[in-house]
Structure 1
Amino acid sequence: MTVQTRHSLIAIYAIVIVFAAATLFSNLGNRLLWGDEATTALLAESITKHGLPKVSDGKNLITYIGTELDSNKAQVWTWAPWTGEYLAAASFFLFGKSTATARLPFTFVGLFCVIIFARLVYKIYESHETAIMAALCLVTSELFILHVRQCRYYSVVIFAEIWLILGLYHLFTGRARRGTIHMSMALALMFYCNYIIIIGNIIAIVFTTILVHERRKYLWRYILSGFAAFTLMAAPWILYAKPWTQAGQVNSRLYIPKLHYYAVEINFHMFPFVLLLIPVGYFIFKGRSLHISSGKTPAQRDLELFLWILIPCQLVIISVAPGLFVRYFTHLIPVFCILQAMLLTRYIRPMLPRYALVGLLCFTNLLSMLGLYFFQYGHKPAFPVINLMRSIATPYTSRLDDVVAFLKKEAAPGESILVYDSEFPLIFYTDMQVIDGRFTYGKTVRPDWFFPIGPSCVFDMKPDSIPEDLSNDFTPVEIEVHKTKRSGSIGDPDKYEYFTATDKEKFVIYKRKPETRRPRRQSEILNKH
């Protein structure tokens, strides 16, 4: 390699990394945290005070489904492991509490993913073109950008998947001990973020090991050793949190529709299915049979086998999991980026069509639109990453912004809100007491405010009527809010709202009449002034 070539490659890698940094870090605090992000942030704030993610601070309760269901008797959060919460807590400790600092550590992990991912792909294929192409697919992925910019564990599981691929590559190239260590630690990191994604990875590893056993007879010993090490690392949480108590949340309802939905999302946001025609066309026009390896090394062949097996394994497992969430697939983004880069560089030899396809793949969804009709599902031709970059650079004001601004002006920090939803963002931004009416269990409550519907709830819930025992004590207050989506800041590209809505609408809340207010403590009066 000449000095000029080396300098050119360094410049290209630098451009990709700078593009990623600019896209990921720009206006990180522009949008208020939505519900799941606020959950992580509130638990992180609790960690800075108590050392553990306590669900109660004596004023507010953090729960999705009720006390001692997503927390234990000591009021410590056990619904999910704490990796994301401790990352956010470290950021709060170092930089203070804010929207941007809540997201900052996850975005740093996302940028680190770009760097190590490019290095990994080069290690596997010994091709700078393949590495740059895969990295370019990653940094222009709308799904990647949206999720890495959130105060959630998503960037960590993306990193863990890259780490797992590195471990398996070491195993397939004969560096078995090193590979076992990497594999077990990557699985443990995944586990301490999200249980669901572990299952598909383990199943795919087992199937791959079965298929390559004849030529890699040593592999079972190291795979089982890695699984044992992973089990030991996961055991403390299993014994402490007892995650099997959540098993009732798993069901197979809407199984086939879920499979279809996830297939559509993969086609449009991760891997256009039309790319699968590239190797088919290659073998047809080259007159080769499908068993020819096309120059693949044994390690590449076995690793790619794992990647192809992993996708359907994850698709089936995630379709059984509760809910319908694209975020369950975020860890597969680097998997699809590797496969895209591999297909383009291996089977399309002419440079012009190869780079033209890269441009279409990275900056448009036109290749996705060429998929089967059943995988379009209402999507339209677009320039996703370009639209997203414009969105990031543009100030965004949601209905939640308007409601928070109103409460900061009209309500005192010690006052309470009754709403039949969790509304964790209101807790984070107003420091008021938010009473989730779903868990009052007939108890008498005397809120200062009543919200018929929460301003940040993801689901478009119907308004709740004011309880009869409170109706005489409250007066309606009408405020004007932006007519934005309640899920406008969520990481799902199909739900994300790019720009502030130009229309506004009336938002009705209820304020307790002054004559029915409870006597206020001296400390509350001092805080008000």
Structure 2
Amino acid sequence: MQSTTTTAGPIPATPPRPDRPGFFARLDWGLLLLLAVAACLLFYNLGQRPFWQDEAETACLAKNVLKTGLPYAYDGVNVVSQEEEREFDKTGGYLWRWSPWIQIYLQAAGFAVGGFDTAAGRAPFALAALLSVFWTYRLVRRHFGDRSWALMAATLLTLCVPFLLIGRQARYYAPGTLIVLWTLDAFLSDWQHRWRPWLVTFFGMVLLFHANYLLFLSFAPTALAAAVLVYPERMAWRRLALLAGATLAVAVVPGIFLYRIGRQSGMFDVLLVPENMMLYFADLCMFCIPLPVSAALAWRWRGFVTRLARPSDPGERFVLFSAVLIVLSLLFLGIVPQRFFRYIAHLLPLCAILLAWCVRRLWGFSRVSAVLLFFLLAFTNWLAVYPMERLKIVNRPWQNDFRMLTSLNFPIKLFATELVCGYPDVNTAIIDFFKAHAKPGQTVLAEYGELPLMFYVDGLHILGGLQGPVPEGTVPDWVLRRRVVRVNRDRFLFGAREFTDAMDLSRDYERVPLAFPDETFGNRTDDPNHHYFIAVEAPQKELEVWRRKGVTP
């Protein structure tokens, strides 16, 4: 692929759109078929696995929203907390202040329509993921007039298993991704002279902040920096200053007080920055943009790196903008203490657009090569995993299995297998056990997985998990010990493990047989490094449940 660059003179403020039909002027049957496939992959068996810990946090808060109108962390019996009760002030009525509220209200809307059902709680988020597929197509087709590129980008996103996993989860990931696409669509429009795209950008920034302020902080400044570097001629500084001021006044400043963002600043650890950056770029190569593609693009755009030579083609200019935005986002996220793949989920549509553009460009040189590249990108992870293995860059989790995304595989086949055949989720076993054996009013001390219990099993007093110290004098009727030993941010044992370590379980309790593998998370779909599609064979440590002697099941 030969690069054509220019440094003389600005490009037009709005790229030409030779093939821009009205939205309803002509049905694109290819797009409709693709959206039907995406809907099946996102909605089929949406409730087959119960909410895992983080999803259940949102679900418990959403349940309280339907009762009180606000996300309170206390329902009169149980407390929702994974940060040792830092998320609220007890004197303030347990109002949730740790994370933004959009995901909570979206899930509450799902419950209001479909009842307290797993699929209903996830449906608004799966819908946002489906709309993200559509908006990926729309962005490319509307602004660059290339139907083939648009369809390929939407197809690659539809078949991207990390995107499908995240899209089926009741958290902010899919809504945040959709808002990012809306904002970029508005940026490519004539916001310098028209108020409608400016307003879309403004409301997008406000919604993004209230979806997740870390997502806002990782996207807004890096998108601005990427725009300055790649689109300097589009910077209408007065309107941009107005946009920044309005966003700060309406969202950021009130949000700092509402969500008490300063309380989380103490988690910063400079020693984690190099490792975080390394792992983020490894995730990028493993699940988003294969290393050979990144290397080819880096060589193609070497003129931009050395002297800011920008491509003259509007489509390639946007792909370069996307690449710069991705790199800057990873550099920014490296300074955030906790590292999770979900923090870069909003970049997946940009990765799909970039990869589809590579296929489209290759088509002009060799159609056979282009078809082969598209097949490798859409249906395999060979191009992503194999080079990392050969270079010994992959930092796999110890529990890696050859049927996971961290090994050479056909990802969409693994995903379809899980959808059709199901998976023996550990939270399902825990929930079913306590539904069958525990009685209302009894106390359960769970070292982890207490939030799914709170949501799915009514009438139990549930303690432990990551809530903090267990109240003195507590005598639980049931004890759920977990395989993984968890420590808090100060590297001390969480209160539940410390409490159970001090108990004489063999004297006061009896072990209840529960022959089910004690997997750590269950449906932890926010990290493709850890998601299981097919059950792992024995031997595995079984769940450890203890019943207090004298308690009638």
Please indicate the TM-score interval, normalised by the length of the shorter structure. Answer: 0.7 to 0.9
Write the deviation string for residues 443-501 of structure 1: whole angstroms up to 9, x where unpaired: 22122112232899999999767465665873222323332632241111120111234
Q: Aligned residue for 2:545?
A: 509
Are 2:183 and 1:156 equivalent residues in the alignment? no
Q: Aligned residue for 1:108?
A: 127
Of 97, 114, 132, the residue aligned with 2:116 is 97
Question: Do the aligned partners of 1:171 and 1:219 also contact (CA within 8 Å) in 2?
Answer: no
- Mark the CA change 1:385 to 1:246 in structure 2 (over 3 Å): closer, same or farther: same
Write the deviation string for residues 57-76 of structure 1: whole angstroms up to 9, x where unpaired: 11100112233544562211
Write the deviation string for residues 185-230 of structure 1: whole angstroms up to 9, x where unpaired: 22222211211122232222332454367634x6111222211222
Question: Do the aligned partners of 1:484 and 1:501 also contact (CA within 8 Å) in 2?
Answer: no
What stretches of structure 1 of length at least 5 have no aligned partner?
518-527
Of 508, 525, 532, the residue aligned with 1:497 is 532
Question: Do the aligned partners of 1:365 and 1:384 also contact (CA within 8 Å) in 2?
Answer: yes
Give me the whole-angstrom Cα distance separating, in 2, the residues matched to 1:207 and 1:250. 23
Are 2:340 and 1:325 equivalent residues in the alignment? yes
Displacement, 1:361? Answer: 0.3
Q: Aligned residue for 2:189?
A: 170
Q: Aligned residue for 2:461?
A: 433
Q: Supply the AA of the counterpart residue of 1:103.
A: R
Q: Supply the AA of the counterpart residue of 1:360.
A: L
Q: Aligned residue for 2:247?
A: 230
Displacement, 1:142? Answer: 0.9
| TM-score, normalisation: structure 2 | 0.83
Give me the whole-angstrom Cα distance separating, in 1, the residues matched to 2:320 and 2:299. 20
Question: Do the aligned partners of 2:425 and 2:523 also contact (CA within 8 Å) in 1?
Answer: no
Question: Do the aligned partners of 1:208 and 1:305 also contact (CA within 8 Å) in 2?
Answer: no
Instruction: Write the mapping of 1:81-480 to structure 2, written as runs, cut at 5 A.
Output: 81-171=100-190, 174-211=192-229, 215-216=233-234, 219-234=236-251, 235-279=253-297, 296-297=313-314, 300=315, 303-349=318-364, 350-369=366-385, 371=387, 373-378=391-396, 379-421=406-448, 423-431=450-458, 432-436=460-464, 439-440=468-469, 443-453=472-482, 466=500, 468=502, 471=505, 474-480=508-514
Question: Do the aligned partners of 2:230 and 2:321 also contact (CA within 8 Å) in 1?
Answer: no
Question: Do the aligned partners of 1:68 and 1:75 also contact (CA within 8 Å) in 2?
Answer: no
Question: Do the aligned partners of 1:158 and 1:332 also contact (CA within 8 Å) in 2?
Answer: yes
Percent pairwise identity: 25
Question: Do the aligned partners of 1:60 and 1:435 also contact (CA within 8 Å) in 2?
Answer: yes
| TM-score, normalisation: structure 1 | 0.86
Q: Supply the AA of the counterpart residue of 2:546.
A: Y
Question: Do the aligned partners of 1:166 and 1:182 also contact (CA within 8 Å) in 2?
Answer: no
- Mark the CA change 1:77 to 1:295 in structure 2 (over 3 Å): closer, same or farther: same
Give me the whole-angstrom Cα distance separating, in 2, the residues matched to 1:220 and 1:414. 62
Give me the whole-angstrom Cα distance separating, in 2, the residues matched to 1:168 and 1:416. 54
Question: Do the aligned partners of 1:60 and 1:433 also contact (CA within 8 Å) in 2?
Answer: yes
Q: CA RMSD in A?
A: 3.2
- Mark the CA change 1:208 to 1:318 in structure 2 (over 3 Å): closer, same or farther: closer
Question: Do the aligned partners of 1:114 and 1:135 also contact (CA within 8 Å) in 2?
Answer: yes
- Mark the CA change 1:292 to 1:353 in structure 2 (over 3 Å): closer, same or farther: farther
Which deviates more from structure 2 when the two are superposed, residues 32-41 or residues 269-278? 269-278
Q: Supply the AA of the counterpart residue of 2:50.
A: L
Give me the whole-angstrom Cα distance separating, in 2, the residues matched to 1:380 and 1:69. 38
Give me the whole-angstrom Cα distance separating, in 2, the residues matched to 1:7 and 1:215. 32
Displacement, 1:414? Answer: 1.9
Question: Do the aligned partners of 2:427 and 2:522 also contact (CA within 8 Å) in 1?
Answer: no
Larger relative contact order (Cα-Cα within 8 Å, sequence gap ≥ 6): 2
Which deviates more from structure 2 when the two are superposed, residues 380-389 or residues 303-312? 303-312
Which deviates more from structure 2 when the two are superposed, residues 453-462 or residues 73-82? 453-462
Q: Aligned residue for 1:486?
A: 520
Question: Do the aligned partners of 1:35 and 1:425 also contact (CA within 8 Å) in 2?
Answer: yes
Displacement, 1:175? Answer: 4.6
Q: Supply the AA of the counterpart residue of 1:314.
A: S
- Mark the CA change 1:240 to 1:411 in structure 2 (over 3 Å): closer, same or farther: same
Write the deviation string for residues 172-195 of structure 1: whole angstroms up to 9, x where unpaired: 7x5543332222222222211211
Q: Supply the AA of the counterpart residue of 2:529.
A: D
Question: Do the aligned partners of 1:40 and 1:84 also contact (CA within 8 Å) in 2?
Answer: yes
Write the deviation string for residues 69-120 of structure 1: whole angstroms up to 9, x where unpaired: 4456221111101111101111111110011111111111111111122111
Instruction: Write the mapping of 1:33-44 to structure 2, written as runs, cut at 5 A.
Output: 33-44=51-62
The DSSP-based 3-state class of the residue aligned with 2:387 is coil
Give me the whole-angstrom Cα distance separating, in 2, the residues matched to 1:166 and 1:209. 13
Give me the whole-angstrom Cα distance separating, in 1, the residues matched to 2:158 and 2:518. 27
Question: Do the aligned partners of 2:311 and 2:317 also contact (CA within 8 Å) in 1?
Answer: no
- Mark the CA change 1:67 to 1:508 in structure 2 (over 3 Å): closer, same or farther: closer
Give me the whole-angstrom Cα distance separating, in 2, the residues matched to 1:86 and 1:291. 44
Give me the whole-angstrom Cα distance separating, in 2, the residues matched to 1:434 and 1:308. 47
- Mark the CA change 1:241 to 1:377 in structure 2 (over 3 Å): closer, same or farther: closer
Q: Aligned residue for 1:522?
A: none
Question: Do the aligned partners of 1:423 and 1:457 also contact (CA within 8 Å) in 2?
Answer: no
Displacement, 1:37? Answer: 0.5
Give me the whole-angstrom Cα distance separating, in 2, the residues matched to 1:212 and 1:99. 43
Total equivalences in the alignment? 505
Give me the whole-angstrom Cα distance separating, in 2, the residues matched to 1:22 and 1:40. 25
Question: Do the aligned partners of 1:482 and 1:501 also contact (CA within 8 Å) in 2?
Answer: no
